[in-house]
Amino acid sequence: MIKLNQNHLKLRSNYLFATINQKINEFKKNHPDVVDQIIKLGIGDVTRPLPRVCIEAMIKASEEMSHTETFRGYPDYEGDSYLIDAIVNKDYLPKGVNIDRSEVFVSDGAKSDTANFQELFDTDVKIAVSDPVYPVYVDSNVMAGRSGEFKDGRWTNITYLDATEQNGFIPKVPDEKVDIMYICSPNNPTGQAFSRSQLKAFVDYAIENNSLIFFDAAYEAYITEPDIPHSIYEIPGAKKVSIEFKSFSKTAGFTGVRCSYCIVPKDIVIKDPISKEEVSLNKLWYRRQATKFNGVSYITQRGAEATFSDQGQTEIKQIIRYYLDNASIIKSALNNVGFTTFGGINSPYVWVKTPNGMLSWQFFDYMLEKLHIVGTPGVGFGKCGEGYFRFTAFSSRENTEKASNRIANHKFGN
Amino acid sequence: MIKLNQNHLKLRSNYLFATINQKINEFKKNHPDVVDQIIKLGIGDVTRPLPRVCIEAMIKASEEMSHTETFRGYPDYEGDSYLIDAIVNKDYLPKGVNIDRSEVFVSDGAKSDTANFQELFDTDVKIAVSDPVYPVYVDSNVMAGRSGEFKDGRWTNITYLDATEQNGFIPKVPDEKVDIMYICSPNNPTGQAFSRSQLKAFVDYAIENNSLIFFDAAYEAYITEPDIPHSIYEIPGAKKVSIEFKSFSKTAGFTGVRCSYCIVPKDIVIKDPISKEEVSLNKLWYRRQATKFNGVSYITQRGAEATFSDQGQTEIKQIIRYYLDNASIIKSALNNVGFTTFGGINSPYVWVKTPNGMLSWQFFDYMLEKLHIVGTPGVGFGKCGEGYFRFTAFSSRENTEKASNRIANHKFGN
């Protein structure tokens, strides 16, 4: 009989969101009278419409596809040149970062890219993630056979970097040797962002230890404070050790349109100890993409390009301001009733310490039953998330204000 | 130093299309006077515009994305319900095939799906491909570590099923035990299609040997003859042993829009000999997609849905007729001057035996230099392709007729 990939079998089902949905459905069944009062601040999905300039670009591109003269077939694996130009000139140049056109790879999502990039490496490379963590970094490595066994809430072969209240939810560099470090800043789920010196510590570690950093900057557009790097390449030496993942999802509302990109610097040359070859990671990723991927829709890429136009940037900034104001409204409401909160300043996520030492799931139940508000239990993102809770700012202003008023007027007892 | 995936390093660059482009560029440099006479019948990419009804659906979907009330965030991993309904009711039901909604997975391309599906299996499962073969089946398995070494034009651990003139380019079932068989019918590159009894032989082999068939039906819409199955599920028992891959690319001109789907029947339950678990392949694929993929653009899915409308079907049939007429024009021209040809009847590909025992690459050079026509050397798809050549029907009518006239008026000497 055919044998299955045992590493895929290891992967646990996503109990977190399954359990959340189950609990909501149970609550609805038992409390049919308050069903329409439930406000969801749990899932990290956007709700504001796309910038008008993107819609117009996609309509124009669709029209082009209906005429022989302007019809487009297979896109280039690495992305279309107009979009790559916009990324180089409109995203990176203003940050003082020089990216070569050949270093940009457009794809259908940062989830795909962050999940697939590990493929380029041997099964026994050592990976490090923060705890709490975006689950895709871990799960894709479990599927690749790098995780070891699951014991006491953690995988035995993965190095976890504790992000706790003590370190402001910004972990320290590993105290053992690791090969690949996943960093998400501004962070999902904690909403905290790495300062320049905090990020520099990781780049220096990577240079010293011949390691690589997979830097997920999906929430970069939410940064409001001056000392937070918008790109890891702002840190000296980072281009030798870092892949950067970016997305149009949270920046321009593209979760339903699917477009992202990653930067694979040509400076990264791996002296592979097994084959003894010197290998350009950029070329290796190109070959991976050319073999298993066929590029992004022309219509989508034109929509993405439009986000970099002047009008696009104006519209995007308004949308981000809207979500950041939501974050501020929730955060203030929580602070005003005495909660300890993190995030929400450079990020659409507000990370809150549960009151009275409640466990994450206890607080979930409490919020659902007493205030009819759904959030995400922090423990779902890792052990260090226990006793914390994530609210997102992606709901409508109306619902955000309603939820905040309920928090303001509630007496959080035991 | 970090170790690379040695299997990725094994993968040879795509010498085929790189060499073709290099040869064309060299020819252009040496013959600037005939540059604009070059006709490309090489690459398998479509050229006709999308059906108008698809364009309109995508414009409408784009507009929906610009209003809060109709905006869509993350798509479902498995595809949106309206598209899945259309696939079940408009693609499969008319073929007499019952597919459950939960058996359909929409994705961004049949290339992604055929490349990724092997992930679900152990590294040491034995795979079989036809020769000649669409390179992605082989390359994705090389990257996964299943190939062994490359010797004399073949990978040592892969079973090659010879498709030759003697068997009409339809290979026989393996004479050894294999776990997974990749079948593409109508075939890329040979243009030949499996008859019902030929396909039944593979299904029977799979049932008998506890094997699986990965059936690539990307060119199904080109079938014109009655005895050719449009879906492998028309064969009794196939639902227990077959995954079917389908695409909107060649059917509706979606190469630049990116949409496809695969069917993973719930009947396929693997009794895994290592874990001793009984595993639903459908559930395992769902988990893989949920972890590494985030669904297809809403706009794209609405465009794909429109291909199943009455107007969509009418327009699609016209486009396919156009390409099939191109195939017929090339095929006739070749036959009239004495070539032996295959395919082109249930497929947009015409597979031709080179004259006078020329090697594939010799004929490539000959066609480029004497007739300024570019095709694809058969040997690029595998050893059994040596001495053969592929023409595609995806060019314009004008260029197809021009190329055919050149063939008709040329004296093919030595």
Q: Which of B71, B122, B258 sits opposite A6 (nearest CB)?
A: B122
Smallest Cα distance from A199 to chain B, Å? 21
Same domain, B98 and B225: yes
Find the distance separating the first CA and the last CA of chain A, reported in whole Å. Answer: 56
Contact A4 B298 (CB under 8 A): no
Residue A275: its H or E element: none
Residues of B with Cβ-Cβ distance to A122 under 8 angstroms: 2-6
Q: Please report which helix (H) or strand (E) contains residue A390, including its range.
A: strand A388-392
Do strands A376-377 and A159-162 pair parallel, antiparallel, or not at all (unpaired)?
Answer: unpaired
Whether the CA torsion A83, A86, A88, A92 is positive or negative: it is negative
- Domain's final residue, options A268, A293, A309: A309
DSSP 8-state class, residue A369:
I
CA distances from A114 to A26, A109, B125, B179, B291 (A): 34, 9, 27, 30, 11
Question: Angle at the Cα of B38 (from B36 to B39), degrees rounded to 5?
Answer: 125
Q: Are A358 and A369 in contact (CB under 8 A)?
A: no
- Number of structural domains chain B divides into: 2
Shared domain for A392 and A278, answered yes or no, is no
Q: Do A83 and A210 fall into the same domain? A: yes
With beta carbons less than 8 A apart as the criterion, state whether A18 and B29 touch. Answer: no
The residue of B10, B55, B62, B269 whose CB has the most chain A CBs within 10 angstroms, and thus the best one to mutate to test that interface, is: B62
Which ranges of B153-280 does DSSP label H, i.e. alpha helix?
196-209, 249-252
What DSSP state is assigned to residue A89? I
- Shortest CA gap A133–chain B (Å): 14
Give the pLDDT score at B14.
65
Q: Pick B294's closest partner by Cβ from A139, A258, A291.
A: A258
Q: Say yes or no: A263 and A322 in one domain.
A: no
Residues B322, B342 share a domain: yes
Backbone angles phi, psi at A94, to 5 degrees: -60, -20
User: Does A67 sit within 8 Å of B297, measured CB to CB?
Assistant: no
For residue B72, list chain A residues with Cβ-Cβ distance below 8 A. Answer: 256
Domain hosting A387: range is 10-49+312-409
Token pair in block for residue A159: 């190095």
Residues A303 and A326 reside in one and the same domain = no
Q: Cis ω on the peptide bond leading into residue A273 (within 30° of 0)?
A: no
Q: Are residues B348 and B401 in the same domain?
A: yes
Contact assignment for B66 to A73 by CB distance below 8 Å: no
Pick B291's closest partner by Cβ from A66, A143, A284.
Answer: A143
CB B199 within 8 A of CB B235: yes
* Strand-pair partners of B263: B104, B244
- List of residues 6+ apart from B327 with CB closer than 8 A: B191, B343, B344, B345, B347, B348, B349, B350, B393
Helix (H) or strand (E) holding B342: strand B341-343
CB contact under 8 A, A300 and B295: no
**Pick from A244, A230, A157: which is nearest to A195 by CA?**
A230
Q: Which of A294, A296, A318 to mutate to test the interface with B (most CBs of B within 10 A)?
A: A294
Residue after which a domain boundary falls, among B310, B338, B369: B310
Token pair belonging to A64: 């082009």
Cβ contact, residue pair A109, B294, below 8 Å? yes
Chain B interface mutation, best of A4, A80, A249, highest count of B Cβ atoms under 10 Å: A4
CB contact under 8 A, B297 and A273: no
* Domain match, B155 and B70 both: yes
Residue A414 covered by a domain: no
Q: Which of A309, A335, A370 is the last residue of a domain?
A: A309
Strands B150-151, B154-155: pairing is: antiparallel
Q: Write down the mean pLDDT value for chain B.
A: 96
Q: Which residues pair with B363 in a beta bridge?
A: none
Alpha carbon of B274: minimum distance to chain A alpha carbons (Å): 7
Reading the block at residue A137, the tokens are 């970094």
Q: Residue B367 and residue B334: Cα distance in Å, rounded?
A: 13
pLDDT of res. A11: 87
Which are the contacts of A414, defined by CB distance < 8 A and separation ≥ 6? A356
Q: Which segments of chain A have a pLDDT < 70? A: 13-15, 414
Q: Chain A interface, mutation test: which of B299, B302, B315, B318, most A Cβ atoms within 10 Å? A: B299
Any domain includes A189 = yes
Q: Do residue A166 and residue A119 come from a single domain?
A: yes
Q: Identify whether A5 is part of a domain.
A: no
Domain co-membership, A30 together with A121? no
**Cβ pair B132, B384 in contact under 8 A:** yes
| Contact present, B319 and B48 (Cβ < 8 Å) | yes
Question: What pLDDT does residue B414 have?
Answer: 52
Query: Up-side HSE of residue A174: CA atoms within 13 Å toward CB?
Result: 25
- Looking at the domain assignment, is residue A245 inside a domain? yes
Helices B310-336 and B52-64 sit at what angle, rounded to 10 degrees?
Answer: 140
Task: State yes or no: cis peptide before B135, omega within 30 of 0.
Answer: no
Backbone dihedral region for residue B173 (phi beyond 0: left; psi -120 to 50: alpha; all else: beta): beta
Integer Cα distance of A160 and A184 in angstroms = 14
- The conformation of residue A363, written as its DSSP 8-state character, comes to H
Task: Tell me how far CA of residue B12 lies from CA of A77, B85, B138, B143, B281, in angstroms.
Answer: 17, 41, 11, 10, 31
- In this prediction, residues B246-269 reach a mean pLDDT of 97
Task: Name which of B153, B159, B114 is nearest B137 in CA terms.
Answer: B114
Number of residues that make up chain B: 414
* B6, B143, B273 member nearest A1 (Cβ): B273
Cβ contact B342:B351 at 8 Å:
yes
Q: Please answer yes or no on whether B284 and A4 come within 8 Å at the CB atom.
A: yes
- Rounded CA-CA distance B5/B313 in Å is 45
In this complex, which of A11, A45, A50 lies closest to B287 when CB atoms are compared?
A11
For residue A7, the distance in angstroms to the closest alpha carbon of chain B comes to: 9
Nearest to B257 among A124, A275, A297 (CB): A297
Q: Residue A15: its pLDDT value, please?
A: 64
Q: Residue B104: left if φ>0, alpha if ψ -120 to 50, beta else—which one?
A: beta
What's the token pair of residue B127? 């795979």
> A290, A206, A192: which is closest to A243 by C-alpha?
A206
Contact B5, A284 (CB under 8 A): no
The type of residue at B123 is T
Quote the pLDDT of residue A414. 52
The CATH number of residue B363's host domain is: 3.90.1150.10
Of B49, B72, B273, the CB nearest to A71: B49
- Tell me which amino acid residue B395 is: S
CATH code, domain carrying B193: 3.40.640.10
Residues near A283 by beta carbon (within 8 Å), at least 6 away in sequence: none
CB-CB under 8 Å, B299 with A121: no
- Is residue B414 in some structural domain? no
Q: Given a cut of 70, is residue B15 above it in pLDDT?
A: no
| A333, A350 Cβ separation under 8 angstroms | no
Chain A and chain B share a number of CB contacts under 8 A equal to 264
pLDDT above 90 covers what percent of chain A?
94
* CA closest to B126 among chain A residues: A2
CB B156 within 8 A of CB B126: no
Task: State whether B141 and B112 are in the same domain.
Answer: yes
The count of residues in chain A is 414
Same-domain status, B169 and B66: yes
Tokens coding A145: 């056979």
Q: pLDDT at position B70, please? A: 97
Phi, psi dihedral angles at A178 (to 5 degrees): -125, 160
Contacts of A397 (CB under 8 A, 6+ apart): A322, A325, A326, A329
Pair of tokens at residue B237: 């028992």
Residue A328 placed within a domain? yes
- How far the first Cα of chain B sits from its last, in Å, is 56
Distance, CA of A186 to CA of A204 (rounded, Å): 20
Does some domain include residue A243?
A: yes
Q: E strands within A142-228? A: 150-151, 154-155, 159-162, 180-184, 212-216
Interatomic CA distance for residues B42 and B23, integer angstroms: 13
Tokens of residue A366, six digits = 């409490």
Inside any domain, residue A324: yes
Report d(CA B50, CA A47) in Å as an integer. Answer: 30
B139 token code pair: 């390359």
